[in-house]
Amino acid sequence: MDLFDHAIQMEKDSYSFYLEAAESLQDTTAQRIMLELAQDERDHEKALQDMKNGTQTDLEISIAGGIKSIFEQMIEAENNFRDEDGCIADVLRRGAEIERMSVELYHGFAEKDQQPHEREFWKKLQKIEEKHEKLLRLTLEYIDKPNIVLENAEFLFYDYNKAP
């Protein structure tokens, strides 16, 4: 299995995880986040397939454009995640672990790849996955302390939409 096949399979598995997670969760905000992450993973899969086929492609970050505003709307409506059974937290922890593994994988690929344009692609994909992991970890913190997370300078100024 070559690098691209391995990465494509990882993105497919991540997509399936987020899709299944969205279907299993009751909280609509958590479902929305999982579905956006699933879409990002599907987009990564397509970009990887394009690169494998020799077509240069540009990766975009679509997930987090509205994530911060989702949290702000929840605070205004005094509506926090409903996570009585810890299900959302479990999904977020597993998702963060998946993203961490992706970061490590793409970092390793960038280190090994001799083609400059492919090396840059792996680095860009690594940075996007780092943003996913960060989002999931901040969301975990939000479940525990919603007002504190929104006041956190790291959260307030973390630009998810900024291109890697």
Summarised one tens digit per residue, pLDDT across range 68-121 is 566 666 656 555 566 556 678 889 999 999 999 999 999 999 999 888 888 999
pLDDT at 153: 47
CB contact at 8 A, 38 and 22? yes
- Percent of the chain whose predicted confidence (pLDDT) is above 70: 70
pTM of the model: 0.80
Both structure tokens of 119: 């090396």
Read off the pLDDT of residues 136-155 as tens digits, 9 standing for 90 and up.
Answer: 888 887 776 655 555 554 55
Both structure tokens of 125: 């994909």
Residues 82, 37: Cα–Cα separation, whole Å? 20
Residues 158, 46: Cα–Cα separation, whole Å? 26
Could you say which DSSP state residue 25 is in?
-
Residues in the chain, total: 164
Q: Would you tell me how many other CB atoms lie within 10 Å of the CB of residue 71?
A: 20
Q: At residue 10, what is the residue type?
A: M
